[in-house]
Amino acid sequence: MTTDVQRLTVVTERQTAGVKTRKRLLSILAHVLLVGASILMLYPLLWMLSSSLRPENEIFTSTSLWPSAISLDSYFRGWNGLRLSFGTFFVNSFTIAVLAIIGNLATCSLAAFAFARLEFWGRGFWFAMMLATLMLPYQVTLIPQYVLFHNLGWVNTFLPLVVPKFLAADGFFIFLMVQFFRGIPKELDEAAMMDGCSPWRIYWKILLPLSTPVLATAAIFTFIWTWDDFFGPLIYLSDIRTYTVMLGLRTFVDSSAQSDWGGLFAMSILSLLPIFLFFLFFQRLLIEGIATTGMKR
């Protein structure tokens, strides 16, 4: 401890040129590392991009990343490949994803608030039940659920994909929010309680404003996972007018027959754009969260 203090004093007292250079070197090293790792992360994208631009018979037979000829054919063919343009699928995916975000943020935060902050009989039991819903493989509840939604007349609409989000059916987000709510100092709401605040006001006025990072996280995940979800749309959507982007993508390819691989890769690239942009935009909220939390403390 003392040595630490001594070293720190030395450093703060004389910010020598040597230390500065070392810092700069470290930062350069970090950038080199990050750029190197980024290439590792970007490789699949580059490869998909090159596959979407090259002739179809080269996709599997050529190992080079560079296409022998470049054409945008796959994009035009893919966009209109499925009787309806991909525009419809983008609108559908977007509608479902936005509804899912609204539903998840509203209802999961309510449930999480109850689990994290309120005392009530059976809390531990219901929390365990909530976790248990995460543990059963969906493959075996699929058919009973389908029967349920079919009886409700919801099959072939967005309802089976959206309504559960408005009923906090995804325990992942409840659990996530619980963990973050519990990280917010309890003195804050205890003081408010003393002033006669209702639980609702504490939830709405204190907890939610302090939770931007986790709400942004939940929004990002909901959007991306709903966008990427394949199995739900596969089972519940039959009419091509209701198809999502992921469902459209999967229909390009059948490994036993003639497929449109170029179209698949071209549309895959396009389908990444919205989620990538969404991520770029929402991660700002992740960062803004810090200022608020920091000040309140």
Partner 1 sequence: MSISIDRRQFLMGSTALLAAAAAGVGPAMSQETRMRLIFWGGQARADRTYGVTDLYTKANPGTTFDGEFLAFADYWPKLATQTAGGNSPDVIQMDYRYIVEYANRGAIAPLDEFVGNGLNLDDFDKDQLDGGKVGGKLYGISLGANSVAIVVNQTAFEEAGIEIPNRDFSYADLPALAEQWKSKNKRAGMALWSDYSGGEPGLDNWLRQRGKPLYTADGKAGFTADDITEWFQMWADLRAAGCLVSPDDQALDATDAIENTMITLGKAPMTYANSNQLIAFQAVNQDTLTMINYPRAKPGSGGGHYRKPSMFFSLGAGSKQLPEGAKFIDFFIRDPEAGKILGVERGIPCSKAQREAIAPTLDPQSQIALDYVSNLGDLLGPLPPSPPAAAGEVGVAFKTKSQEVAFGQQSPQDAGPAFFQQATEILARAAG
Partner 2 sequence: MGRAVSPSFWSQLWSRNAGGYLFLLPWFLGFFGLTLGPMISSLYLSFTNFDLLTAPDWVGPANYVRIFTSDPKFSASMRVTLFFVVFSVPLKLAFALGVALLLNRGMKGLPLYRAVFYLPSLLGASVAIAVLWRQLFAGDGVVNDALAIFGIKGPAWISNPNYSLWTLVVLSIWQFGSPMIIFLAGLRQIPVDMYEAASLDGASKWRQFWKITLPLLTPVVFFNFIIQTIEAFKSFTPAFIISGGTGNPINSTLFYTLYLYQEAFSFFRMGYASALAWILLAIVGFFTAFSFLTSKYWVHYDD
- According to CB under 8 A, which residues from 72 to 101 bind partner 1? 81-83, 95, 99
Total residues contacting partner 1 by CB under 8 A comes to 45
Q: Is the dihedral of CA 183, 103, 121, 197 positive or negative?
A: positive
Is residue 66 involved in binding partner 1 (CB under 8 A)?
Answer: no
Minimum CB–partner distance for residue 239 and partner 2 (Å) = 22
Q: Which is nearer to partner 1, 37 or 167 (CB)?
A: 167
Least spacing, CB of residue 103 vs partner 2, in Å: 9
Q: In angstroms, rounded to a whole number, what is the distance separating the alpha carbons of residues 89 and 230?
A: 13
Per CB under 8 A, the list member of 219, 263, 267, 268 interacting with partner 1 is: 263
**Residue 250 interacts with partner 2 (CB under 8 A): yes or no:** yes
Half-sphere exposure of residue 154: CA atoms within 13 angstroms, side-chain side: 18
Using CB under 8 A as the binding rule, whether residue 152 contacts partner 1 is answered as no
One-letter amino acid of 31: H
Name the binder of 235 from partner 2, partner 1, none, CB < 5-8 A by kind: partner 1
Are 218 and 165 in contact by the 8 Å Cβ rule? The answer is no
Q: How far is the CB of 148 from partner 1 (least distance, A)?
A: 9
Selection from partner 2, partner 1, none that 113 binds (CB < 5 to 8 A by kind) is partner 2
Residue by residue, DSSP assigns the chain as -HHHHHHHHHHHH---HHHHHHHHHHHHHHHHHHHHHHHHHHHHHHHHHHHHHS-GGGTTT---SS-SS--SHHHHHHHTTBSB-HHHHHHHHHHHHHHHHHHIIIIIHHHHHHHHH---TTHHHHHHHHHHHHHS-HHHHHHHHHHHHHHTT-TTSSHHHHHHHHTT--HHHHHHHHHHHTTS-HHHHHHHHHTT--HHHIIIIIITGGGHHHHHHHHHHHHHHHHH--HHHHHH--SGGG--HHHHHHTT--TTS---HHHHHHHHHHHHHHHHHHHHHHHHHHHHHHHHHHHH-
- Stretch of residues binding partner 1 (CB under 8 A), selected from 3-11, 112-120, 143-151, 286-294: 143-151
Q: Max Cα separation, the chain? A: 76
According to the binding rule CB under 8 A, does residue 29 interact with partner 2? no
CB of 201 to partner 2, least distance (A): 12
* Residue choice 97, 114, 116, 162 for contact with partner 1 (CB under 8 A): 162
Partner in contact with 241, chosen from partner 1, partner 2, none, beta carbon below 5 to 8 Å by kind:
partner 1
Stretch that binds partner 1, among 113-121, 152-160, 187-195, 208-216 (CB under 8 A): 152-160
Q: Which residues pair with 159 in a beta bridge?
A: none
Stretch that binds partner 1, among 30-38, 130-138, 150-158, 219-227 (CB under 8 A): 150-158
Task: CB nearer to partner 2: give 191 or 287.
Answer: 287
The pattern of x and - marking residues 45 through 84 that bind partner 2 according to CB under 8 A reads x-xx--x-------xx--x---------------------
Site residues, partner 1 (CB under 8 A): 56-61, 81-83, 95, 99, 103, 106, 142-143, 146-147, 150, 155, 157-159, 162-163, 166, 234-235, 238-242, 250-261, 263
